[in-house]
Structure 1
Amino acid sequence: MQTIEIKTTQNVTIEYELASLWERGLATFIDLIIIVVGSVLVPALLGLAGLFALVPFQLLFALCFLSFFFGYFFLLESMMGGQTLGKKMTNIRVVRLDGEIPTVNDYLLRAVFQYVDTILSGGILAAMLISSTTRQQRLGDMTAGTTVIRKRNNIRMHLRNILNIDTLESYEPVYPQVKVLSEQDMLSIKQVISRVRKYPNDAHWEVVESLAAQLREHLDIHEVRKSDDLEFLRTLLRDYIVLTR
């Protein structure tokens, strides 16, 4: 599993799992099936309607495919927050390396270079670059300053490895109400703890303080001292693992 650290505009560094070559390949394969189906249906419907009767079907298919190919990746990634239907099904998405939200121009560059990465090279160039670059970027990613990450990490493995909780008998939960939180919530807590331990700057400590305050209010916990914010977050992680596995 490869990861990447991205610093947000709030100067907080977050660790993400990079999407694997297999996940990105499967997503592209699903997208291509959708594009091909659309490229077949449109010329067929035009033929049934008597339009472009003198134009060979193969030419209409090629024109539709090239148009749909660009429009599909550009429009869907722009409107779906860095996802296409294939990416949504494989639970991956596009992010910028500088922590900013990808812009329309970023998605435009990715769509344009998708021709080179996928069509002109038969996908070989994209596969080689994703496999060999440290940030797993194809040519379109490099030009746009983006990469593709998993939306959901393997939270249980990460938390168990960090906290070393072996059995229910070895630990008694302190805050049983933590069960109302989701796995994604706990992953966010874990990332905040990891960041403040690795980069103990004021920005990360402010995030710890703010997150702890929000969780105390949400879980209706009042007896925790402000100076114990970091240990409070770690306790929530321990409790969640024990109570939900």
Structure 2
Amino acid sequence: MQKIEINTTQNVSIEFEAALLRDRILAFIIDFLIMGGASIILSIIISIAFTSAAEYLYYLFIVPIIFFYSLAFETLNHGQSPGKRVMDLKVVKLNGAEPRSSDYVLRWAFRMIDIYLSFGVLAAIFIGSSNKNQRLGDMAAETTIIKIKPAKALRLNDIININSIDNYKPVFPEVKKLSESNMLLIKNVIERYKAFPNQAHREAMRMLVSKVKEEINVDQGSSRDIDFLQTLIKDYVVLTR
């Protein structure tokens, strides 16, 4: 899976999973079907209920749906159209900032060249050849599309193997206050830090430790952040199995 490294305005490097061309195409197809379905249903309603003004109402309601569908959803839904949401994709800025309305407008303006006039061939070529999986609209707006959920799902049973718990005494029994999803998040943070031990993941771990300590009201003592989190995972498995 291709990774995209984004340098934030604080000069912190964060790594994301790049959206596959296949996923972007599927998201586009889903959006096209939704947009087409809504247009057809609205056309039928207009033709039946407003026969005399049908042509005027088509231009008033249906044309804006077709032209502004992606722009409206991405702007109002933080970089996600319904198709992108289904495929767990999101538009992000390469500098780590939140995309502005002007960025979404710029991406949308290039859709005519990238997708419609070239039947998507131009977009596919640029996405496939770009280091950050960008079509022309992304390059102009300095954006790209990432996968917001990991490709491989984790299960709690995969977290840790403890052969014997008879002689193990949990260090932080308060960990039972946390949920299974909390523990999976902790596991993900640990794994990402081990795979990419950069400043961004170190900071993410530090923030997670601070949040967990506040949530369950414990003191990690002199243990390192990663040791503290690994102990929490072990305690949780022992106390909940």
TM bracket, shorter-chain basis: 0.7 to 0.9
Pair 149,232 (structure 1): closer, same or farther in 2 beyond 3 Å: same
TM-score by length of 1: 0.75
- Secondary structure of 2:96's partner? coil
- The corresponding residue for 1:50 is 51
Q: 1:220 aligns with which of 207, 217, 220?
A: 217
Q: Percent identity?
A: 36
Whose helix proportion is higher, 1 or 2?
A: 1
CA contact (8 A) 2:183 2:233 kept: no
Q: 2:101 aligns with which of 96, 100, 104?
A: 104
Number of aligned residues: 228
- The corresponding residue for 1:16 is 16
Moved more, 78-87 or 9-18: 9-18
- Secondary structure of 1:4's partner? strand
Moved more, 29-38 or 125-134: 125-134
The separation in 2 between residues aligned to 1:46 and 1:121, in whole angstroms, is 32
Pair 213,122 (structure 1): closer, same or farther in 2 beyond 3 Å: same
Question: Where does 1:2-13 land on structure 2 (aligned, <5 Å)?
Answer: 2-13=2-13
Pair 210,44 (structure 1): closer, same or farther in 2 beyond 3 Å: closer
| Alignment of 1:232 onto 2:232 | no
The separation in 1 between residues aligned to 2:44 and 2:144, in whole angstroms, is 37
The separation in 2 between residues aligned to 1:230 and 1:22, in whole angstroms, is 36
Point out where structure 1 has 5 or more consecutive residues left out of the alignment: none
CA contact (8 A) 2:190 2:226 kept: no
Kindly provide the amino acid, as one letter, of the partner of residue 229 in structure 1.
D
CA contact (8 A) 1:93 1:148 kept: yes
Q: Aligned-pair distance for 1:156?
A: 3.5
- The corresponding residue for 1:93 is 90
Q: Aligned-pair distance for 1:236?
A: 4.3
CA contact (8 A) 1:209 1:226 kept: no
Moved more, 12-21 or 139-148: 12-21
Q: Aligned-pair distance for 1:169?
A: 2.1
- Secondary structure of 2:15's partner? strand
Q: Aligned-pair distance for 1:96?
A: 0.6
Pair 227,175 (structure 1): closer, same or farther in 2 beyond 3 Å: closer
User: Residues 104-158 of structure 1: CA distance to partner in whole angstroms, max 9, x if unpaired?
Assistant: 001111111122222111112222222221211112111111111111113649x
Q: 2:118 aligns with which of 106, 109, 121?
A: 121
Pair 232,185 (structure 1): closer, same or farther in 2 beyond 3 Å: closer
Pair 218,80 (structure 1): closer, same or farther in 2 beyond 3 Å: same
Q: Aligned-pair distance for 1:243?
A: 8.8
The separation in 2 between residues aligned to 1:74 and 1:104, in whole angstroms, is 9
User: Residues 22-73 of structure 1: CA distance to partner in whole angstroms, max 9, x if unpaired?
Assistant: 11111100101112223333333333212356x6xxxx68x945x3233111
Q: 1:72 aligns with which of 69, 93, 102?
A: 69
- Secondary structure of 1:168's partner? coil
Kindly provide the amino acid, as one letter, of the partner of residue 228 in structure 2.
F
Q: 2:130 aligns with which of 130, 133, 138?
A: 133
Structural RMSD (CA)? 3.5
TM-score by length of 2: 0.76
Moved more, 119-128 or 85-94: 119-128
| Alignment of 1:40 onto 2:40 | yes
Q: Aligned-pair distance for 1:83?
A: 0.3
Pair 147,235 (structure 1): closer, same or farther in 2 beyond 3 Å: farther
